[in-house]
Amino acid sequence: MIIVLKKGVTEEEIEHVVEKIKGLGLAVHISKGQERTIIGAIGDESVLAATPLEALPGVESVMPILKPYKLVSREFKSEDTVLDISGVKIGGKAVQVIAGPCSVEGRDILLETAREVKNGGATLLRGGAFKPRTSPYSFQGLGEEGLKYLAEARKQTGLPIVTELMDPRDTELLCEYADVIQIGARNMQNFRLLTDVGDCDKPVLLKRGLSATIKEFLMSAEYIASRGNKQIILCERGIRTFETSTRNTLDLSSVPVLKEETHLPVFVDPSHAVGRWELVGALSKASVAVGADGLMIEVHNDPENALCDGVQSLKPDKFSELMAVLKKVAEAVGRTL
């Protein structure tokens, strides 16, 4: 249920409405926009039937949220959510780019790549310290050692770091190091993990699952938001179809659909979507053109010898060339880069 408050409502009136809702056993979520303050009452809405909330001071109207996802829906918040991550605004007019290697392979190679993507125009650095791999014999990441290298790269370049959380037992450790916690496609419906990051005061980049519908994707985001953490970035990274010419099929239509359904920022990961570096540029341009708020691009200074996903990684010079083109695309659709 959404309780829309009048323009100019006082803090005392807001608190009175909040106390009333909590007294009915419902969770309260407040969204303050430029024009209106909205209070979401989440839980068994049938208990509100006998409570005339419209009569409370400061209340303008009361309406149900029809979508199964409540807090992340446009019904709950019509304005776009803009996150501020160490000065990087995500979800605003500027298209942001997260770049870096798939996994942290060593200190020197990470620091070199971090400097290269910084020079190329990236605004955040990616790198996996813990890596989910299809084969148990593949490189699994450096763990906490990798997190320390990422922290050093952040100190040298100023780039906030994005890294993946795979196990609830590592939540506290990642919260100590990361600026943004990534939940990968294989864990999109790991509800214990979603609950854990929902309890953290850290932005979360949530990737769409391999076979997840838009509704399922947003319901996973709702798990995080329902715990109080509304700092969520959605990331389309391709879905599994019958097509075998690319690693996955990039669902570009998901970007405008998500922008219509939710107030959360939407990113695209073209690298994991197609698995071929020579296709990343075209899909990056298409993603910006269709309305993505940001991109997540894999960059490696020696992809031939990369321990993870070298075939889909751009070399630094190719990344810089792509960024110059993306700037023009962004300008053409009224954005900046």
Show me where the domains of the chain are located: 2-63, 83-332
pLDDT at 133: 54
- Which is nearest to 133 in space by CA: 79, 181, 184, 201? 184
List, for the chain, all residue ranges whose pLDDT scores fall below the cut of 70. Answer: 131-141
Please answer whether residues 232 and 72 qualify as being in contact, where contact means their C-beta atoms are separated by less than 8 angstroms. yes
**What is the model's pLDDT at position 99?**
97
- CA distances in angstroms from 281 to 162, 276, 324, 332, listed in the order given: 21, 10, 11, 17
The CATH homologous superfamily of the domain defined by 2-63: Phospho-2-dehydro-3-deoxyheptonate aldolase; domain 1 (3.30.70.1140)
pLDDT of residue 23: 86
CATH code linked to domain 83-332: 3.20.20.70
Q: String of b and e for 195-215 (b: at least 16 CB within 10 Å)?
A: ebbbebebbbbbbbbeebebe
- Both tokens assigned to 271: 């690298």
Beta pairing, strands 161-164 & 180-183: parallel
pLDDT at 63: 81
